[in-house]
Structure 1
């Protein structure tokens, strides 16, 4: 059974404020206030570090032992954007060489945009199970905000820079994957105004549905779920989703939304690290990691784990 063996993260100290975006994105003072007071978005993480440097810092924080490093067979780079640096740069392979992981088979997973992190965990577990030995895999996540579209989503979110490295094993005694549900919605491909409006209309119901479906597939009721680890899109999205499914908002880890921003696919693992460090997960607790991705269609997904 797929399990998370360890998580390493890096979130820089630098921040950019929503106010600094006002001129660039033609935001009115009222829109800025709405972001701070309504969406609870005030700042996003930012650094001068390169993308290869971001990924290297997350790998370093993973603190692999030499025997673990030798057992890493796969590295899956989960990313939101299809292109993250100019050709022919390859930050993934640069980071792996720095970390002493140049022997691993490495590739990117980005078909589900910001939900690609969960897809990568599922794929890593499947690859390891098929091999049938004690090999390990790493899921890497984190991107730079190098274009307007990767900095800011109007009326929705601010993207932040950070990275995470998740060590995955085919089995384990903790953080075992109990279920995975992904709903792919191809009708939301494209940028047409009516498509975007319909996506916003169904968003909370669709996200809530996959959370419930993942819990059901794991043989659980929502009341059995100790914590939901969300993607950090904004707080109002989770308030509405929780209201629809009847889940207590205070059990959704939203602490980093206002400070870090939406860290692309790294949100899940950064929030996991925080939940463990703060003692929000006790042995035997079942928890949900949820995400939504949009860009090439839409994906709503959720995983249930047992700590």
Structure 2
């Protein structure tokens, strides 16, 4: 047992860019747009003007409003992000905690080396530092601030939806029972936009993620087709449909409905998908959910989350109308 997820707070900027608007800014061709829409299932992307601190402050203020009584018991705050440096080197995210009322002795750090997969092993790291009765807060979110960050060629476009995941060492909410990670070090210099004459990681991706999921299932002692849900990173529809077919997983068990809503929101995707499953009442007591992500570099990571009886995870979202969950 690694820890427990006590709540998930989701902040989604109300402003959006359509696929057409992003395509124009990124210099995508008409053929690219058809591919992103028809095969990859991308439609629109949340965007908030301002800095990463403006984005994360909105998330933290929403979290504090819902958890005011717990703030003094949060001993660690961990920001998992993809881009190695979010701010100028003389600035720290710690300042955000001070403005939002966190204790002066709350420890703050950031994790990044797994890129988009960083937010999953971050749960084990944060929970390992807790004493009984203490909490940790995992923050996930960043800005698509530059075309080299906003676009992964022939793959996806980034969104800016964010999550704050409240964690405990022991509790009565969702149990995080195991983690599995793997690396492919030969892609350590991969930056996401490889030249077309050096496809590298793109060619190896499906074998890498398929092997990672098989190994994770073996580590979790649970067959892939016995998982009730898979909450993946939201790269695109076609890649996950191909993985599902390769691994003989029913496509209906991979939650893909957030791809057209948000695009690929860096490391927040698996938690956005878990939150949507909870709010859509798609989970039953005893269900097992596999959270999965792949980060450049290349890192595969996954968590096994088990749903207890009678203690649904609270989900807080700033959207006035949370999207309904429809069958895939």
| Shared fold (TM-score, shorter chain, > 0.5) | yes
1:241 partnered with 2:243: yes
In the alignment, the residues of structure 1 paired with residue 197 and residue 249 of structure 2 have an alpha-carbon distance, to the nearest angstrom, of 28
State the 1:102 CA deviation: 4.3
Q: Cα deviation per residue 1:170-198 (whole Å; 9 max; x = unaligned)?
A: 12223111221111111002246489623
Q: 1:173 to 1:216 in 2, by over 3 A?
A: farther
Q: 1:300 to 1:206 in 2, by over 3 A?
A: same
Q: Cα deviation per residue 1:111-147 (whole Å; 9 max; x = unaligned)?
A: 100001012112112222xxx4221111101001111
Q: 1:158 maps to what in 2? A: 157
Verify the 8 A CA contact 2:72 2:103 in the aligned structure 1.
no
Verify the 8 A CA contact 1:227 1:280 in the aligned structure 2.
no
Q: 2:32 maps to what in 1? A: 31
Query: Gapped runs of 5+ residues in structure 1?
Result: none
In the alignment, the residues of structure 1 paired with residue 177 and residue 254 of structure 2 have an alpha-carbon distance, to the nearest angstrom, of 19
In the alignment, the residues of structure 1 paired with residue 120 and residue 167 of structure 2 have an alpha-carbon distance, to the nearest angstrom, of 12
In the alignment, the residues of structure 2 paired with residue 38 and residue 220 of structure 1 have an alpha-carbon distance, to the nearest angstrom, of 31
Q: 2:47 maps to what in 1? A: 46
Q: 2:217 maps to what in 1? A: 215
Verify the 8 A CA contact 2:225 2:250 in the aligned structure 1.
no
Verify the 8 A CA contact 2:158 2:266 in the aligned structure 1.
yes
Verify the 8 A CA contact 1:45 1:260 in the aligned structure 2.
yes
1:171 partnered with 2:170: yes
Q: 1:298 maps to what in 2? A: 298
Verify the 8 A CA contact 1:207 1:301 in the aligned structure 2.
no
1:147 partnered with 2:149: no
In the alignment, the residues of structure 1 paired with residue 15 and residue 262 of structure 2 have an alpha-carbon distance, to the nearest angstrom, of 10
In the alignment, the residues of structure 2 paired with residue 96 and residue 195 of structure 1 have an alpha-carbon distance, to the nearest angstrom, of 46
TM-score by length of 1: 0.92
In the alignment, the residues of structure 1 paired with residue 275 and residue 24 of structure 2 have an alpha-carbon distance, to the nearest angstrom, of 35
Verify the 8 A CA contact 1:211 1:288 in the aligned structure 2.
no
In the alignment, the residues of structure 1 paired with residue 198 and residue 56 of structure 2 have an alpha-carbon distance, to the nearest angstrom, of 32
RMSD after superposition: 1.9
Q: 2:82 maps to what in 1? A: 80
Which structure 1 residue ranges, 4+ long, deviate > 6 Å from structure 2?
none
In the alignment, the residues of structure 2 paired with residue 112 and residue 151 of structure 1 have an alpha-carbon distance, to the nearest angstrom, of 18
Number of aligned residue pairs: 301
Verify the 8 A CA contact 1:143 1:163 in the aligned structure 2.
yes
Out of 107, 115, 125, the position equivalent to 1:113 is 115
TM-score by length of 2: 0.86
